Structure formats: C-alpha cells, structure tokens
Structure 1
C-alpha cells in the first residue's frame, strides 16, 4: 500500500496525497493488528517464500508466472499447499510455477468479450472496482497503462492479489482492501473505470454511478458489467430476499433501465456490447473452490430459473463516456 504514496507525484495525484496517507496508515494499522480472516490470510502470505520466476506471461488466458523447473519439488509442494489455503479462487485462471489454479470463473471468457470494444489502455489511469484477486488488473497491465488501482474489501481475494504480486511485482498495479465508497474523492482523475459484478450489490446504484462519473475525466470510459433482465421495458427486479442464494442483490435492471441509470448518472454514448447468459462453462465447481457454484444456484428442474424462481443470471456489458 505504501507504494501508492511513493508513486503519488509520478501518478499526478499530489492533491490527494494527504487523504491517501490517512487512509493507508489506517489500513496498515488494521492489518498490523488483523484478526479473523485477515489475520489467517496474512499469516499464509507471510509464510510463502519469494521465489524468482524465470518468465511472466500476462497476455494468455491464464496469467502465468514461471515454470515448475524454477522450484525444487519441496518448494513446489509448499507453494501449492499455501495456494490451496487461500481458497476459494473465484477469478482466474492462473499458473504459478506449473501449479494450475483452475478458478471457479473462467475469467478470460469475459475479458475476450470486452477487450475489442474498449479503448486503448496504454498510458491510462485505471480504476478497477471490486478487483478481486487482480486477474483483470493484470490483464490490463499487459496494455502498459500508467497505473491500475483496484479496490477489494474481501480478505481472501485481497491476499490472493498480494500473493500474486509477490511474484509478478507489477509496479503500475496497486490494490487497497477497501470498498469503493472509502476511496478518497478523486474528481476528474481516472481515464478508465471498470465496474464489473458490483453494481447489483449496491442499494443506491444510480448514486454509485454518479460517484464513478465524478471521478472520471470528461470523455473517460466506463466499462460496466452487471446482472440484467434480458428485456427492454425499463423495469427492474428487486428480489424479495435472495437471488441465486445471494443475500446482497438489490436491483437487477433490464437493458433500458440500465441505460436510464447511466444517463441519470451523467454518462453519454452508451453502448451495450454484450448480453450473455452465464453458462456452466464460464462458472463451475473446481478443486480450487470449496463452496457452491452456479449449478447449485439454479432450479434443478429448470436451469432458466434460479432456485428462488427468478430468471437465471444474465450479464450485460455496457460501455459509456463520462461527461
């Protein structure tokens, strides 16, 4: 986290230095006295040696770090055990020194859906909201942006990111263990913002979009991926209790409602570039997760419905410009 402070002048965020300093010192104190899952995962991270990879590959479907021949058999088994202790691995895949982390989500599928629709990321200042273990940030890093800043409050995902960075050492990629609303207000700073799989967890989605728009320079690009109802009637689903067994799902808009939200928040040039029903190829059970997955969230007698009787998950990607 201190690297963000060290890079403040280089990244032209001098104006926010004091706010970042207060935030980072607070989070550092929290981690120094971590309890619960943060303490558990912190101990795992600290017990992983710093192996030197012979190569790094960010552009393939799997983010690849080194080769099995870089490690002794003892080191390989130690690292595999530590990586397994960091489960569940939701996003990926990754290959660390020959250890194939077959994540729950085949995240390369989503990346390939969107990568030909977005602007060139070279030299850009990027925010990734809900960055998980950094899979998409590392894909962005391959495009040589000025910086990628992720925010990820989930302890397991944040320490997965730190573990990967231990070997990748990407000096233009950063992550803070915070939700988006704890980030200092950085008016008209970001060139590109990714917000994928987050908005439906927010009780006030339009306000979140407005805050995102305010943080972007005029003409900046938003890449928004969200659960949707595949209709064009300007309506929203508000689940009574759970959606696909998730408690924290609030508004699921249809395609026109999503466009209306973006317009209300100050975005223009709105394009829906993809609408895809989540498949068992993209999200499935593997040995790297120990929890339920898509198959468990759907009605066993009708895969077009969730177990609660709502439409099965469909996700859309919207691209819009900040005003």
Structure 2
C-alpha cells in the first residue's frame, strides 16, 4: 500500500471542511519530509511493504478494533508481521489487535473512550476533528460511531506511520490523518461538527490561543470535547484564576506549561466564547491505564511519580489528573 492523500484531496472540495485543502499538499510534504525526519527513510518502506492478506474483518467498535480475528494466517506470517509492526515502536496509544497480534500500547486509550463517549453528542453523520490524535486510535473509534469523516492531525511522524500501518489492513473507512499541527490548519475552516482536543492543552505555551484555534475549526452550534490535566488549588486559594505553571518538569515532562483548576479552565472557555460547558469526568490516571509494555518498553507513569506516594509526581506536584469538558459553540 502506498502512502497517498489523493483520496482525501478528491473528497474535501465537496465537504463542509473544504478550506482544509488550502495548501494541503505542501503542508503534507513538509510534515513527512525525510529531510526533517530521517527515520521516515526506513519507516515509509516498512509501511508500504506490509503484507497483503486481502479483505480482512474488523470491528471499529471493539476496544482493540479486532482486525483479522477470523482471518487465518500462518505462524510464520504472523511472526514476520509482528517484527514489522514492532519497527514502529514505541506504540503509545491503543490497543490494537492485528491478525492475532495484540499490540499492548502504553496507554489504555479505550478506557478514556469509555469515559468520554457516553457524554458527547452522537457522531453519526458528523465531520469530526481530532487534534493531537497520536496513532489515530480514537479516530477509528469515532468512525465506528458513524461519523461521515474523521480528520486527525498529528505532527509526530512515528504516530503517522502507526496510523498508516493500521489503515493498510482496514482501509480508510472515512478516517484520515494529516501530519500537521493545529497552527498549520487553515484559518477559519469553520466546518467541523465535533472537535476533540485530548491531552494537548497542557503542552501549549498559550492555552487561550489553543482554545481560539479550536474554535476557528468549528461551525456554529458544534461541540468541543476537551480533555486535559487539571489540578486542585492550594488550600486557602481561590480556585477561580489558579493555574499551576511547573518550575521545570511535571511528571518528568518538560513541555508542560499550564495546569489550571476546573474552575479556571471553565472561565477560559467562557471568555473564548464557548457555552453550555460541562465537566463530565475527572479522573486520576492509574498505573494500570498508563504503563510500560512489550510494545512501549521505556519508562512510564510509575517512573514519573513519587516512589513513596503515587498521589504526587516525582517533583512533588499533584499526580496527573485529567478532566473532560464538553461545550458548544
């Protein structure tokens, strides 16, 4: 299977998100430039040389997509495929099951979907944007809910290769991933019915600008699903207006900038113009949801927490707690 975006480019002019096509070939070329990302020289051939097993069964509503569950292949074929899929390690977002191979990812992203999905508007017939979509796991689940089109944007070249390796077996199924940042999306696309930003806000140096950029992708009356790290205000501090800016690292991550309280983030969203804002879930990340596995064999959450108190990060801050907000434009 050749990595190509021709199908999406042909579809976009007849959709409510036609503006997304502005300068898209040039942006894709930049996002997947082998001059910028040397590893693409080995990853792209690995994707394009994945074996063709013909039409395989899959279930986009299954927690692991259940790809090829009933499709017989030999153990030799399975071993060779496992070796190819492992060339795209570390696999962080999933899980996936591909031709009898269980890709046990660092994150149990299916748990997040189970927490979020009951609280959002039905996705059937909607145009959906997933910002910072990682491997595209949630995009496939959104398609399983009947979305007309799901567009994921993700600048990581490895995550893009993971998406293409899954797409190789099940086809596009109205799911498309672009190697872009949100800043590279044309201004005022203003056509998506639902926009997801999950696990992105705290990585942005300007969270208010991020909210405005999300808003610019949405049409009037559409829905925003925002999930991010939050903190409690220190005792005696008014939670409205409080936001933690880590001194250096947070849970060993350098690129964490603002961790607001629920009240502060609600206020930010109101100021930007969102309404009917609801906090539908607040959940402290568990050691079972984010962990080291055979498919992501680097340090994970356990290594980033205080060894004597898992309710604190290694730096002494409140342990990662994620809140999900649903709002309308």
TM-score, normalised to structure 2's length?
Answer: 0.92
- Which of 193, 218, 221 in structure 1 is aligned with 2:220? 218
Distance 1:281 1:312 in 2: 14
Shift of 1:164: 0.3
Distance 1:16 1:319 in 2: 24
Structure 1 range deviating more: 180-189 or 106-115: 180-189
Is the 1:41–1:155 contact (alpha carbons within 8 Å) kept by the matching residues of 2?
no
State the partner residue of 2:146.
144
Q: Which runs of 5+ in 1 are unaligned?
A: none
State the partner residue of 2:322.
315
Deviations 1:102-148 (A, max 9, x none): 11111111111111100010111110001111110000001121110
Shift of 1:168: 1.3
Distance 1:93 1:165 in 2: 15
Residues 25/101 of structure 1: CA separation in 2 closer, same or farther (3 Å cut): closer
Structure 1 range deviating more: 189-198 or 73-82: 73-82
Instruction: Give the match's secondary structure for 1:279.
Output: coil
Distance 1:68 1:34 in 2: 40
Is the 2:311–2:318 contact (alpha carbons within 8 Å) kept by the matching residues of 1?
yes
State the partner residue of 2:279.
272
Shift of 1:89: 1.0
Is the 1:52–1:70 contact (alpha carbons within 8 Å) kept by the matching residues of 2?
no
Deviations 1:77-120 (A, max 9, x none): 11100111111111111100000111111111111111110001
Deviations 1:260-288 (A, max 9, x none): 11112211110000000000121111111
Distance 2:308 2:132 in 1: 33
Alignment of 1:1-323 (within 5 A): 1-27=5-31, 30=33, 35-67=37-69, 69-231=71-233, 233-234=239-240, 235-322=242-329
Q: Which runs of 5+ in 2 are unaligned?
A: none
Structure 1 range deviating more: 299-308 or 232-241: 232-241
Deviations 1:220-256 (A, max 9, x none): 1000000000347121000011100101000000111
CA RMSD of aligned residues (A): 1.7
Residues 286/16 of structure 1: CA separation in 2 closer, same or farther (3 Å cut): closer
Is the 1:20–1:184 contact (alpha carbons within 8 Å) kept by the matching residues of 2?
no
